[in-house]
Amino acid sequence: MLPDDINEIDATVRAVLRDVLGLSEARVAGFRSETPLFGGLAELDSMAVAGMLTELEERLGILIDDDEVDGEMLETFGALVRFAASKANR
Amino acid sequence: MIDHYDWAGGREAMLRFGPDTGPVVVAAMPLFEEANRARAFIVTILRALAAQGIASALPDLPGTGESLIDTENTSLNAWNAAFSSAAQHFDPGSRPVHAIAVRGGALVDATAPVASRWHFAPVAGEGLVRDMLRARLAAAKESGEAISADTLEPPGPPVELAGNRLSRTLLAELGRNVPSNRPPLRIVRLDTDTQPADRHVAAAPLWRRSEPGNDPDLARLLADDIAAWIATCAG
């Protein structure tokens, strides 16, 4: 995958978290690979997870199977970006 | 002001804004939890229209808002019938009636006798059901409860999804319905939504936020878009 692609996916995941969770631009800009998401962000409840998945699908043009959604991919910001990149790369 | 409208299944509340003459915009809210999240935003749009001298009405659909009907006893057909009746509350001979709809609201204006339709971020019913099922699946994973998409198939008792008890008939109706494309129709979408539209606007999807929000700038922009569209239709 080209560096441009991963940068775009990184930016899209940040934008989705900002929009769906109502977080500030500054807050999502401060997310690092190891920043915890599920369990770390109070805003990320089950409804928000659903909205986030749908927004990622629409904005990245990917399809996410519900069986693929587990605690691991939602554990950190880096894990979510890697998951999104693996879907976008197919 | 709070008004009412009558439909075959009873009487429901309807908020009214703006003057008693001239064109009327009847607004269809998003469905389910998205309605709670977008209500303040839609009211801001309608107030902005009123400031331009355009009247509007925001009907409660049966089984939503202040309705005395239980949510689990409602259906998409009932919503279409009720929305049509809300539109017919106004005499089209004396004032043109236009429908506007946000998200799943675009699924309830199909049969309404209106001069035009305007949809913001319209969504197929299947997408709404998928979102609610996903939320349920995510919650079920935390609690260890077993649930699958088969759980929704009729016949059977109502299903609890995203805080609502919904009939399987309604879920099945949603699954096979898409927004009306009957002209004259104008579609506005967010720029993050790649589906075709007459206009794409840069904004965040308020209906995704668990904390109800508002976006007065976007509301004004959309009110201007609606006002210009209605003027075109009157042309």
Cβ proximity of B85 and B4 under 8 Å: no
Would you kindly state where each structural domain of chain B is located, as residue ranges? Answer: 2-124+181-234, 125-176
d(CA A79, CA B11) in angstroms, rounded, equals 51
Q: Residue B171 to residues B27, B127, B165: CA-CA distances in angstroms?
A: 22, 11, 11
Q: Please write the tens of the pLDDT for every residue from B101-127.
A: 999 999 999 999 999 999 999 999 999
**Mean pLDDT, range A63-80, rounded to an integer:** 91
pLDDT in tens, A9-46: 999 999 999 999 999 999 999 999 999 998 889 888 88
pLDDT at B155: 87
Q: Out of B131, B193, B209, whose CB is closest to A50? A: B131
- Under 8 Å between Cβ of A38 and A75: yes
CATH superfamily of B2-124+181-234: Alpha/Beta hydrolase fold, catalytic domain (3.40.50.1820)
Mark yes or no for CB contact A19/B205 under 8 Å. Answer: yes
**Interchain CB distance below 8 Å, A58 and B134:** no
Q: What is the ipTM of this complex?
A: 0.87
Looking at residue B181, its pLDDT comes to: 94
Q: For residues B40 and A76, what is the distance between their CA atoms, to the nearest angstrom? A: 33
pLDDT higher than threshold 70 for residue A1? no
Q: Which residues of A touch B138 (CB under 8 A)?
A: 46, 49-50, 69
pLDDT of residue A71: 84
Evaluate whether B184 touches B109 at the Cβ level (below 8 Å).
no
Can you say whether the dihedral through the CA atoms of A18, A24, A25, A27 is positive or negative? negative
> Where on the phi/psi map is residue A10: left (φ > 0), alpha (ψ -120 to 50), or beta?
alpha
How far is residue B136 from each of residues A14, A50, B141, B155, measured CA to CA in Å? Answer: 24, 9, 9, 20
Which residues in chain B touch residue A69, judged by CB atoms under 8 angstroms apart? 134, 137-138, 141
Calculate what percentage of chain A has a pLDDT beyond 90. Answer: 69
Provide DSSP, B40-52: HHHHHHHHHHHHT
* Minimal CA separation from B208 to chain A, in Å: 5
User: What count of residues does chain A have?
Assistant: 90
Q: Which residues lie below 8 Å from residue A53, measured CB to CB, with a gap of 6+?
A: A64, A69, B134
CB contact under 8 A, A55 and B136: no
**In this complex, is the C-beta atom of A59 within 8 Å of any C-beta atom belonging to chain B?**
yes
In tens, the pLDDT along B46-78 reads 999 999 999 999 999 999 988 999 999 999 999
Query: What is the band of A5 on the pLDDT scale with cuts at 50, 70, 90?
Result: confident
Residue A2 Cα, gap to closest chain B Cα (Å): 22
CB-CB neighbours of B157 under 10 Å: 9
| Average pLDDT of the segment spanning A46-55 | 91
CA distance B209 to chain A (A): 5
* Pairwise CB contact (< 8 Å): A47 & B211: no
CATH number at residue A18: 1.10.1200.10
Q: What is the pLDDT of residue A3?
A: 67
On whether any CB of chain B is under 8 Å from the CB of A24, the answer is: no
DSSP string, B58-73: EEPPTTSTT-SS-GGG
- Intervals of chain B under pLDDT 50: none
Q: What angle do CA B106, B120, B20 make, to 5 degrees?
A: 80
Q: Quick one: pLDDT at residue B213?
A: 83
Question: A75 is in which domain, residue-wise?
Answer: 3-88
A90 pLDDT band, cuts 50/70/90, is low
- Name the residue with tokens 């749009």: B45
Q: So what's the pLDDT on residue B149?
A: 66
Q: Total structural domains in chain A?
A: 1
Closest CA to B38 of B83, B97, B105: B105
- Give the separation between CA A22 and CA B206, rounded to whole angstroms: 9
User: Residue B191 burial by CB count (10 A; 0-12/13-18/19+): exposed, middle or buried?
Assistant: exposed
- How far is residue B181's CA from residue B190's CA, in Å, rounded to a whole number? 18
